[in-house]
Amino acid sequence: MEEILFFAAALGALGGAIGVVLMRNPLFGVLALVVHLFSLAILFLLLTAAFIAAAQVVVYAGAVMVLYVFVVAYVGDEHEPAWEPIPGQRFLAPLLGAALFVELSIAVLGSSLLALDTDGPDVAPGFGDPAEIGKLLLERFLLAFEASSILLLLAAVGAVVLAARRRDLDGGDVGTPSERFAPKASEEGAPAAPPTGGPS
Amino acid sequence: MSIEWYIVLSSLLFAVGAMGILIRRSPIVILLCLELMLNAGNLALVAFSRMVGNQDGQVFAVIVMVVAACEVVIGLGLIVAIYRRKLPLDVDELRTLRG
């Protein structure tokens, strides 16, 4: 039973990951990531990490993915141009990814960790429960807990500052970086031609 | 299932995420691939915590989730800011800071 669940969830996680990489429309990529996250939650449950699995579904697949969907809907689906800055990048990248996987596997399997091919020790029934994790967070890892709460606050404030509407930058056509930093040719007359590269 | 399987799956997911970052050029998809890599790390953390029989790794995974959420918020804020300024959403075009 456990094997079936593991392989089903592993297939879902891997398929979701490959879908994220290969989908041309970012919205479908986000949906593939949701599949990936749900499969990972099943894997976490198999590893007796109930709280992590619940947090994964609620925080990630719930809140973060909604944020992604909103931004993709706001920005719209953009097409990736065929222009390649590095020739052969599309063929080199899978090769490098495969090399990274081989390297990681050699590093892990060659680490001579004796417990690696076991199921892990028998654990108490409450292992990974919210109560246990909460106790650890509020006692032993209190400093990390508080630091992460400050980090969340900073990120929220930073996002508001970054995405806030600014009149000086928002009103006119800003153009691509090269157009923006090029010296102005003429100041009079009608406004300059619309930017070529930007979304309209 | 032995812990080995989880670790190999985690490194496979990490490699897929890294490959996606190398291939894709849309900042949104690059953020999604970063999520893949962080989640692969989370899976390895939880698997090793099960292997040792200690819950510290799970607490670490929670903290990694918090950091990932912050990264998403800042990254999406940057994307919205880039879009508002009518710059192209393509990491190869946005290279003013390149040396």
Instruction: Examine residue A123 and state whether it is found in any structural domain, yes or no.
Output: no
Residue A198 has pLDDT above 50, yes or no: no
How far is the C-alpha of A57 from the C-alpha of A31, rounded, in Å? 14
Q: Please report, as a single letter, which amino acid is at residue B50.
A: R
What would you measure as the largest C-alpha separation in chain A, in angstroms?
A: 79
Instruction: Examine residue A62 and state whether it is found in any structural domain, yes or no.
Output: yes
Could you tell me if B40 and B10 are in contact, meaning their C-beta atoms sit under 8 angstroms apart?
A: yes
Instruction: Examine residue A104 and state whether it is found in any structural domain, yes or no.
Output: no
Among the partner-chain residues B36, B53, B92, the one whose CB lies closest to the CB of A36 is B36
For position B47, what pLDDT does the model report?
92
Query: pLDDT of B15-65, one tens digit each?
Result: 999 999 988 888 899 999 999 999 999 999 999 998 888 889 999 999 999
Q: What is the CATH number of the domain that holds A67?
A: 1.20.120.1200
Instruction: Examine residue A88 and state whether it is found in any structural domain, yes or no.
Output: no
Residue A167 has pLDDT above 90, yes or no: no
Shortest CA distance from A106: residue in chain B: B8
Residue A83 has pLDDT above 70, yes or no: no
Specify whether A5 is located in the same domain as A68.
yes
Instruction: Examine residue A163 and state whether it is found in any structural domain, yes or no.
Output: yes
Average pLDDT over residues A76-103: 76
Q: Which of residues A44, A77, A110 is at a domain's end?
A: A77
CATH of domain B3-84: 1.10.287.3510
Instruction: Collect all residues with Cβ–Cβ distance below 8 Å to A196 and sequence separation of at least 6.
Output: A175, A176, A179
* Domain membership of residue A146 as a residue range: 129-168
Instruction: Examine residue A197 and state whether it is found in any structural domain, yes or no.
Output: no
Shortest CA distance from A134: residue in chain B: B59
Question: How many residues would you count in chain B?
Answer: 99
Number of compact structural domains in chain A? 2
How far is the C-alpha of B24 from the C-alpha of B16, rounded, in Å? 12
pTM of the model as a whole: 0.82
How far is the C-alpha of A22 from the C-alpha of B36, rounded, in Å? 13
Kindly indicate the confidence band of residue A168, based on its pLDDT and cuts at 50, 70 and 90: low
Cβ atoms within 10 A of the Cβ of A22, count? Answer: 14
Q: Which residues of chain B neighbour A118 with C-beta distances below 8 Å? A: 2-3, 51
Question: How many residues would you count in chain A?
Answer: 200
Specify whether A3 is located in the same domain as A72.
yes
Average pLDDT over residues A5-29: 91
Domain edges within chain B: 3-84
How far is the C-alpha of A53 from the C-alpha of A42, rounded, in Å? 7
Shortest CA distance from B52: residue in chain A: A120
Check CB contact under 8 Å for B51 and A115.
yes
Specify whether A72 is located in the same domain as A2.
yes
Instruction: Examine residue A86 and state whether it is found in any structural domain, yes or no.
Output: no
Check CB contact under 8 Å for A97 and B15.
yes
Specify whether A72 is located in the same domain as A139.
no
Instruction: Examine residue A151 and state whether it is found in any structural domain, yes or no.
Output: yes
For position A85, what pLDDT does the model report?
65
Q: Mind telling me how many Å the CA of B83 is from chain A's nearest CA?
A: 7
Backbone angles phi, psi at A185, to 5 degrees: -75, -50
Burial class (CB in 10 A: 0-12, 13-18, 19+), A129: middle
- Complex ipTM value: 0.91
Among A168-172, A189-193, B28-32, B73-77, which is the least confidently predicted range?
A189-193
Dihedral sign of CA atoms B29, A31, A80, A90 in order:
positive
Q: Mind telling me how many Å the CA of A188 is from chain B's nearest CA?
A: 23
Residue A179 has pLDDT above 60, yes or no: no
Among the partner-chain residues A59, A85, A173, the one whose CB lies closest to the CB of B92 is A85
Angle at A164 between CA A163 and CA A167, to 5 degrees: 125
Q: Which residues of chain B neighbour A117 with C-beta distances below 8 Å? A: 2-4
Specify whether A2 is located in the same domain as A72.
yes
